[in-house]
């Protein structure tokens, strides 16, 4: 995925461009925090370098203290409250884009599913897609599951 990607919020006030650079593959997270934050069954993330992202429009932020002690900040549109990306203070420079905000999100199927221990029972994960009961425990494991290909 070396092409420039574009995306934006629901109301159109926020638009962004993601330039070519280091990009992980998309993954689904079924943890209960993601369920609460999205009001849905899981969230779709893709790890990127924050420096490759240019955002136009008025933004706001929500903060959450994770059990690990990291402060997770989610940034989105101040008008319609669509969430665009998240970052946390223990991984400076990295961000996690909300895959559903990409214009070409249909081409982005999850390379892995994490926190399937909290998965909603009605969701069936396609055969052959890697799953973890929790999430990768090291950078090596993150790269192994959703690193660039």
- Binding residues for Zn ion, rule: CB under 5 A, are 9, 11, 13, 29, 31, 34, 77, 79-80
3-state secondary structure (DSSP) of residue 86: strand
Residue closer to Zn ion, measured from CB, 3 or 69: 69
Token pair of 134, please? 């929790």
CB of 91 to Zn ion, least distance (A): 15
CB of 135 to Zn ion, least distance (A): 8
Strand ordering across the sheet containing 53-56: 5-8, 15-18, 53-56
Residue closer to Zn ion, measured from CB, 36 or 51: 36
Residues 6 or more apart whose CB falls under 8 angstroms from that of 134 comprise 114, 115, 117
Residue closer to Zn ion, measured from CB, 18 or 31: 31
């Amino acid at each position: 995925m070396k092409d420039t990607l574009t995306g934006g919020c629901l109301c159109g006030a926020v638009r962004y461009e993601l330039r070519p650079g280091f990009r992980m593959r998309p993954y689904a997270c079924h943890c209960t925090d993601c369920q609460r934050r999205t009001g849905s069954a899981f969230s779709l993330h893709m790890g990127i370098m924050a420096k490759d992202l240019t955002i136009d429009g008025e933004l706001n932020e929500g903060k959450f203290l994770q059990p690990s002690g990291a402060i997770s900040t989610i940034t989105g549109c101040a008008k319609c409250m669509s969430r665009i990306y998240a970052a946390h203070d223990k991984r400076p420079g990295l961000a996690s884009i909300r895959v559903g905000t990409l214009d070409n999100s249909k081409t982005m199927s999850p390379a892995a599913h994490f926190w399937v221990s909290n998965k909603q029972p009605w969701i069936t994960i396609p055969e052959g897609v890697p799953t973890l009961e929790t999430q990768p425990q090291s950078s090596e494991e993150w790269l192994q599951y959703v690193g660039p290909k």
